[in-house]
Amino acid sequence: MASRSSLQFLLDEHIAVAVAAQLNVQRPASRTLTLARWNDAAYLGATDDVILKAAQVTGLTLVTYDLRTIPGLLKQWGEEGAAHGGVVFVDTRSITPTDIGGLVRALVELWDAEQASDWTNRVVFMVSTPS
């Protein structure tokens, strides 16, 4: 895995680009990227395993609303001993995809608290934070 000096987010294709823009303004060192703009959108539409492997190689932690397919993949990888660069799950009941400010606040709070942590194989479930 690429070494990194701090937590870096990769937002999946279902998260608004505005979230990355605001995170990069509020926490420039977070280097938040979107799947739509990462590597010239080469991973748009790619399978979860391909995205997670590429994210790990480049030192990125995936932020996703995908609570349907990724948890099963992470379980399988855990059983096989395969590593990933970390996943932050967001539940639509906690922070809706249209609540850009809420997601930004939650990710800023997470980044402030955990930026120096090792995110290899780490999984976090995001909850909303007060305005």
pLDDT at 131: 57
Supply 40's token pair: 């010239």
Distance CA 16, CA 21 (A): 9
| 131 residues of the chain, pLDDT tens digit each | 444 457 899 999 999 999 999 999 999 998 899 998 999 999 998 999 999 999 999 999 999 999 999 999 999 999 999 999 999 999 998 999 999 999 999 999 999 999 999 999 999 998 766 55
Domains and CATH numbers, the chain: 9-126 (3.40.50)
Report the sign of the C-alpha dihedral through residues 101, 102, 107, 108, in that order.
Answer: positive
| Length reported for the chain | 131
